[in-house]
Amino acid sequence: MREQADLASEIQGNSVADIQKRQAAEAAMGEIRSGMRIGLGTGSTAKHFVDLLGARVAEGFECICVPTSEVTAAQARGLNIPLSDLDALDGLDLTVDGADEIDGQRNLIKGGGGALLREKIVADASARMVVIADGSKVVDQLGAFPLPIEVNMFGLGATRARVNAVIKAHGAEGGLELRQGADGQAFRTDGGHLIFDAFFGRISDAKALSAALLDVPGVVQHGLFIDMCDAAYIARADGVAKLGD
Ligand code: 5RP
């Protein structure tokens, strides 16, 4: 039956990856409880979760949510999901977010959508972080996906030189690229910062790299999420697997 449904969805224009993103989001709905304070992630997978949560809210489900981006905030508002500022709440119970890569220890690369700073702040404030992803995001070793590094505008050249030295020292095979927006201008995050994407290939020591990047004054944050993800729902053709507890 599932295969037929997949075929029907594909005919309607949904890719297999998108179907799996939806399935992962559906699985994560089992994590929500009435009255929870929930962090809402950003990206095409998190968007499915927000849609599903919106449907539950329309049925009377009670929760209060903190979005990790302006895009997610707009989606949630459109679905009448109650929103709050992070600082108005005494922490969060749960955050559900996507990822660009996830390894066997549930360490992540995030920030492909440019929301890494708010995503990390929200996840850090949450008692539990759950990742939802299709199977293509699972890797043996982080680093094939370019690592997003959010930087301040001021002193961009100096920051670029420092970051370049750090990534070279940590085995980057490629260089750094300043992320461009769809308009051809430098991409700006919700916080008004810029993003360098760093091309590693493989990241051999994510913790050491994290510390070295955060030691560069112009670096605001990076997309390595180490020891933050409690569980992940990974959807593949044969079903959804849960990693972690
Ligand atoms: C945004 C993110 C996203 O969670 C990540 O890029 C995955 O996106 P998608 O679900 O669209 O594949 O970190 O900053």
User: Looking at the structure, do residues 231 and 170 belong to the same domain, yes or no?
Assistant: no
Mean pLDDT of 177-197: 97
Residues enclosing ligand 1, CB less than 6 A? 41-46, 97-100, 110-116, 119
The tens digit of pLDDT for each residue in 128-143 reads 999 999 999 999 999 9
Distance between Cα 44 and ligand 1 center (Å): 7
Per-residue model confidence (pLDDT) at position 139: 98
CATH number at residue 174: 3.30.70.260
User: Looking at the structure, do residues 217 and 231 belong to the same domain, yes or no?
Assistant: no
Q: Quickly state the pLDDT bin for 1 (edges 50, 70, 90).
A: very low
Count of domains observed in the chain = 2
Per-residue model confidence (pLDDT) at position 12: 56
Per-residue model confidence (pLDDT) at position 14: 79
Please give the positions annotated as active site. 119
The tens digit of pLDDT for each residue in 140-164 reads 999 999 999 999 999 999 999 999 9
Sequence-ordered strand ranges (E) for the chain: 36-40, 63-67, 94-97, 101-102, 108-109, 129-134, 147-151, 176-178, 194-198, 219-222, 224-225, 231-236, 239-244
Mean pLDDT of 208-222: 98
Per-residue model confidence (pLDDT) at position 34: 98
Do 144 and 172 meet the contact criterion of CB atoms below 8 Å apart? no
The residue whose CB lies within 8 Å of the most ligand 1 atoms, and thus the one to mutate among 15, 16, 23, 45, is: 45
Evaluate whether residue 245 is within a structural domain.
no
CA 70, CA 186: separation in Å to the nearest integer? Answer: 18
CA 30, CA 26: separation in Å to the nearest integer? Answer: 8
DSSP string, 112-177: TTS-HHHHHHHHHTBS-EEEEEEGGGB-SSTTSSPEEEEE-STTHHHHHHHHHHHHHHTT-SS-EE
The tens digit of pLDDT for each residue in 10-34 reads 445 579 999 999 999 999 999 999 9
Per-residue model confidence (pLDDT) at position 13: 59
Report the nearest atom of ligand 1 relative to the CA of 47.
Answer: 10
User: Looking at the structure, do residues 94 and 124 belong to the same domain, yes or no?
Assistant: yes
Boundaries of domain holding 174? 147-221
Residue whose CA is at the smallest distance from ligand 1 atom 6: 112
The tens digit of pLDDT for each residue in 76-89 reads 999 999 999 999 99
* pLDDT of residue 8 exceeding 80: no
SS3 12: coil
User: Looking at the structure, do residues 134 and 152 belong to the same domain, yes or no?
Assistant: no
Distance between Cα 112 and ligand 1 center (Å): 5
* pLDDT of residue 97 exceeding 80: yes
Mean pLDDT of 55-74: 98
Evaluate whether residue 30 is within a structural domain.
yes
Distance between Cα 24 and ligand 1 center (Å): 14
Residue whose CA is at the smallest distance from ligand 1 atom 5: 99
The tens digit of pLDDT for each residue in 36-51 reads 999 999 999 999 999 9
How far from each other are the two terminal CA atoms of the chain, in whole angstroms?
Answer: 29
